[in-house]
């Protein structure tokens, strides 16, 4: 008979080890899934996790992709992690990402064809504000009316997608595109472009912003009283209230920061790798970032590594699609599985496992 | 311009998947468990139901397969949250993300497959009755079962001993445990029931309503179902009301789009979601009513010490 005994404090060893074990278990379970699809599991895992970085044939293309894909994931996940720590669940980052991209792109296109160097910083600010404003809807509804922020932020993703569809086909459509949907290309126009900063690395302004966010979040969580309040509110809400932490202020702050960062991520994407507002430029980063935040243990440094790993599965997944004909959704299932294993293994850091005799109970 | 009879018929059909998922989730939440994976279970039900309908040609088997699919996925949630004591919010999200991916994977190659027709319960002569015929008698069995399920859940929760135990577990798992009730077993069974309902809702969506498999076809229906439970203040009858409200808005906006009214398409497309949010705000702003019926132990991890 197995019995769980609560640890007085979570185990530090298992806290660090669970992501690694979860990745290994996901590789095994994913291998089984690929075998069921009739593909060679060992080759599939190698193509996903090894070839994008080290194969002579593909690495030159896929290495820069690593930062391109990790950038938005890390930027969004950092924002989400603050709220998740405080027990404030913004799961609508995908919507904030879309609205940020639309606002930023709209700002840039309003000055078209100017190439003024101030336009791009303005676009970034517009993106931040757009994502922030979209996240303020669930935040204000929560603080004013106690409406559940999980449901509102998520439902707003579908509203954002409807707005995106009308932007791409109607009011942001490229007037010179002869009726084709999609805005003007931002990345090929100087002034509105988010270029590769160091050739061959995939580094663009959004990746830089993600690195800055990691450092800022690290300082905030470990050195600033606000970080302490966030952690306190998550672990002991009652104690936090006695300590003078204003729950409504935390809701506005956490949702606001995560919305702004998601909005910025959307702007960097649409002015760089995606290039334009199109009906499906958003590729689910806002949802995958939830997995990144948990895989990184809601810790800034952990999120950095988790974002890179998740980016690797995206790139490796595309490669596996090309080489082995593994269907694209397999990777999404694979990423979901990773979160399952991670959550399942968490029991090891919070509880001690005891093998007790039946009679003793 | 818009025929009220066909609108009501469409309302009933559109509301059924959400109604099924919501009534299942209501029972789950009544035992104190918050399963945010409804969207994932629905879409798995949609794909397993669709595949079964295409491969076997049997609609009955398709609905059973949808239930089984949702149930299997909910069992994963049950193991993680009840046996491994994981965070319910995170695990529910994982269920949705995984479910959407797995459903897309299973459904590769199936879009556009031809399906067996879903038989109507009543003969054509009854459907020919003006007004009442199309509204009351023109539906497949599942639609009537869904309404009966609401009645059954209401009766179970309000008038039976089992319902009392379910509510006790949801109000205070420690007290229920001290009285000797198997908290984990009861919650696990409720989770499986919720999974079966969500899966059936998904299967109805793909096999009966849309009659096709499209990636991501649930389009937030699972989240709307979750919102309906809150809207209903955990009362079965109100779930029915909420589902009809949602179905009415969805059916109406599609008709308005077809009629090319002078309203932005984005606004019409998002109207079911916006109305859901507005209704949620109205309900939760009434502090007394919102708190009255919410299970006190909702979302809390139960760990029997000793």
pLDDT tens, residue order, chain B (306 aa) = 678 888 898 899 999 999 999 999 999 999 999 999 999 999 999 999 999 999 998 999 999 999 999 999 999 999 999 988 888 888 998 999 899 999 998 988 888 888 888 888 888 888 778 888 788 887 888 899 999 999 999 999 999 999 999 999 988 888 888 888 899 999 999 999 999 999 999 999 999 988 899 988 988 899 999 999 988 888 999 999 999 999 999 989 888 888 888 888 889 989 999 999 998 898 888 766 666 677 888 888 888 764
Distance between A138 CA and the closest CA of chain B, angstroms:
9
- The residue of chain A nearest to residue B87, with distances taken between CA atoms, is A343
Residues shown for chain B: 306
Its ipTM equals: 0.89
Is B117 within a domain?
no
Provide the strand spans (E) within A1-41: 2-6
Residue-by-residue pLDDT tens, chain A, 361 positions: 677 888 888 888 888 888 889 999 999 999 998 898 888 889 989 998 888 888 888 888 888 889 999 999 999 999 999 999 998 999 999 999 999 999 999 999 998 888 888 999 999 999 999 999 999 999 999 999 989 899 999 999 999 999 999 998 888 888 887 778 888 888 888 888 888 888 878 889 999 999 999 999 999 998 888 888 888 888 888 888 888 888 899 999 999 999 999 999 999 999 989 888 988 888 889 999 999 999 898 999 999 999 999 999 999 988 988 888 888 888 888 888 998 999 888 888 888 887 766 554 4
Domain count, chain B: 1
Distance separating alpha carbons of residues A86 and A90, to the nearest angstrom: 11
Rg (CA), chain B: 19
Q: Establish if A16 belongs to a structural domain.
A: no
Nearest CA-CA partner of B153 in B64, B240, B40: B240
* Within a domain: B306: no
Q: Is A353 helix (H, G, I), strand (E, B) or coil?
A: strand
For residue A179, tell me if it sits in a domain: yes
Q: Which residues of A touch B281 (CB under 8 A)?
A: 141, 145, 147
Contact between A83 and A246 under an 8 Å Cβ cutoff? The reply is no
Structure tokens at A300: 């800034």
The 10 Å CB-count burial string (b at 16+, else e) for B56-81 is eeebebbbbbbbbbbbbbbebbbbbb
What is the C-alpha separation between B305 and A8, in angstroms, rounded?
13
Token representation of residue A162 = 């409807």
Q: In this predicted structure, what is the pLDDT of residue A94?
A: 95
- We report the CATH number of the domain holding residue B205 as 1.10.3470.10
Residue B194 lies in a domain: yes
CA pair distance B281, A73, nearest whole angstrom: 31
Nearest CA in chain B to A144: B285
Q: Which residue of B has its CA nearest to A160?
A: B270
Query: Is residue A191 in a domain?
Result: yes
Cα A74 from Cα A67, distance rounded (Å)? 10
Q: What is the pLDDT of residue A266?
A: 96
Radius of gyration of chain A (CA): 22
Residue A91: its chain B contacts at CB < 8 A?
93
By Cβ distance, the residue of A4, A151, A347 closest to B280 is: A151
Q: Looking at the domain assignment, is residue B71 inside a domain?
A: yes
Q: Enter the tokens of residue A210.
A: 């993600």
Residue A166, domain extent: 38-326
Q: Which residue of B has its CA nearest to A165?
A: B266
φ, ψ of residue A352 in degrees (nearest 5)? -95, 140
Question: How many Cα atoms within 13 Å fall on the side-chain side of residue A162?
Answer: 18
Domains of chain A: total: 1
Across the interface, do A155 and B277 touch by the CB < 8 Å criterion? yes
In this complex, do B84 and A347 lie within 8 Å of one another by their Cβ atoms?
Answer: yes
Which strand (E) or helix (H) includes residue B269?
helix B265-285
What tokens does A115 get? 């190439």
Instruction: Categorise residue B211: left if φ over 0, alpha if ψ from -120 to 50, beta otherwise.
Output: left
Residue B46 maps to a domain: yes
Q: How far apart are CA B306 and CA B297, in angstroms?
A: 20
- Answer yes or no: is A348 within a domain: no
- Residue A165 domain flag: yes
Q: Which residues contact B164 (CB under 8 A, 6 or more apart)?
A: none
A352 strand-pairing partners? A5
d(CA B259, CA B275): 21
- Domain-located, residue A342: no
Residues of A with Cβ-Cβ distance to B290 under 8 angstroms: 146
DSSP per-residue codes, A150-184: HHHHHHHHHHHHHHHHHIIIIITS-TTSTT-SS--
Here the CATH number for the domain that contains residue A296 is 1.10.3470
Query: How close, in Å, is residue B19 to chain A by CA atoms?
Result: 17
B268: in domain: yes
Distant-in-sequence, close-in-space partners of A156: CB < 8 Å, separation ≥ 6: A92, A95, A134, A137, A138, B273, B277
Nearest CA to B216 out of B64, B39, B76 is that of B39
Contact at 8 Å (CB) between A153 and A262? no
Domain assignment present for B120: no
User: Domain of B47?
Assistant: 4-110+130-293
Q: Which among A1, A4, A10, A22 is positioned nearest to A310, based on CA atoms?
A: A22
> How many whole angstroms separate alpha carbon B212 and alpha carbon B214?
6
């Amino acid at each position: 008979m197995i019995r769980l005994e609560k640890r007085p404090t979570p185990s530090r060893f298992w806290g660090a080890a669970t992501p690694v074990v979860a990745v290994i278990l996901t590789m095994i379970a994913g291998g089984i899934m690929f075998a069921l699809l009739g593909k060679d599991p060992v080759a599939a895992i190698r193509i996903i996790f090894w070839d994008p970085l080290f194969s002579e044939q593909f690495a030159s293309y896929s290495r820069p992709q690593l930062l391109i894909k990790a950038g938005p994931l890390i930027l969004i996940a950092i924002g989400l992690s603050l709220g998740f720590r405080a027990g404030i669940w913004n799961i609508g980052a995908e919507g904030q990402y879309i609205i940020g991209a639309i606002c930023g792109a709209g700002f840039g296109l309003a000055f078209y064809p100017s190439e003024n160097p101030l336009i791009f910083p303005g676009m970034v600010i517009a993106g931040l504000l757009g994502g922030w404003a979209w996240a303020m809807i669930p935040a204000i509804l929560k603080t004013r009316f106690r409406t559940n922020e999980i449901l509102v932020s998520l439902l707003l993703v579908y509203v954002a997608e409807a707005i995106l569809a009308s932007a791409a086909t109607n009011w942001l459509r490229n007037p010179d595109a002869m009726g084709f949907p999609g805005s003007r290309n931002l990345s090929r126009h100087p002034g509105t472009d988010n270029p590769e900063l160091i050739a061959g690395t995939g580094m663009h302004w959004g990746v830089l912003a993600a690195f800055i966010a990691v450092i800022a979040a690290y300082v905030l969580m470990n050195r600033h009283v606000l970080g302490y309040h966030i952690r306190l509110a998550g672990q002991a809400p009652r104690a936090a209230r006695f300590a003078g932490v204003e729950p409504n202020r935390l809701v506005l702050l956490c949702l606001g920061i995560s919305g702004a960062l998601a909005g910025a991520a959307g702007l960097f994407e649409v002015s760089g790798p995606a290039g334009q507002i199109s009906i499906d430029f958003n590729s689910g980063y806002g949802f995958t970032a939830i997995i990144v935040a948990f895989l990184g243990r809601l810790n800034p440094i952990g999120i950095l590594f988790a974002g890179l790993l998740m980016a690797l599965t995206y790139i490796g997944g595309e490669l596996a699609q090309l080489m082995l004909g593994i269907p694209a959704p397999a990777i999404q299932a694979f990423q979901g599985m990773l979160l399952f294993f991670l959550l399942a293994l968490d029991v090891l850091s919070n509880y001690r496992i005891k093998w007790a005799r039946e009679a003793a109970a | 311009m818009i025929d009220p009879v066909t609108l009501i018929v469409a309302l009933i059909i559109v509301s059924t998947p959400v109604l099924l998922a919501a009534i299942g989730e209501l029972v789950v939440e009544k035992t104190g468990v918050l399963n945010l994976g409804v969207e994932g279970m629905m879409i798995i039900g949609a794909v397993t139901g669709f595949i079964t309908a295409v491969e076997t040609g049997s609609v009955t088997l398709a609905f059973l397969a949808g239930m089984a699919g949702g149930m299997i996925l909910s069992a994963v949630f049950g193991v993680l949250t009840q046996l491994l004591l994981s965070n319910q919010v995170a695990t529910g999200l994982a269920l949705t993300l995984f479910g959407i991916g797995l459903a897309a994977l299973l459904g590769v190659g199936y879009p556009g497959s031809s399906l067996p027709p879903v038989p109507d319960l009543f003969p054509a002569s009854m459907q020919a009755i003006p007004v009442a015929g199309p509204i009351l008698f023109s539906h497949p069995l599942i639609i009537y079962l869904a309404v009966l399920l609401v009645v059954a859940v209401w009766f179970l929760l309000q008038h039976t001993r089992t319902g009392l135990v379910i509510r006790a577990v949801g109000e205070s798992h420690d007290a229920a445990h001290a009285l000797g009730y198997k908290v984990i077993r009861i919650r696990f069974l409720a989770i499986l029931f919720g999974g079966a309902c969500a899966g059936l809702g998904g299967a109805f969506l793909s096999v009966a309503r849309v009659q096709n498999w499209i990636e991501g076809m649930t389009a937030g229906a699972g989240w709307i179902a979750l919102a309906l439970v809150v809207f209903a203040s955990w009362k079965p009858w109100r779930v029915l009301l909420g589902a009809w409200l949602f179905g009415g808005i969805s059916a109406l906006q599609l008709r308005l789009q077809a009629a090319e009214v002078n309203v932005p398409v984005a606004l019409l497309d998002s109207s079911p979601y916006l109305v859901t949010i507005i209704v949620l705000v109205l309900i939760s702003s009434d502090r007394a009513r919102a708190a009255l019926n919410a299970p006190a132990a909702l979302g809390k991890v139960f760990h029997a010490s000793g």
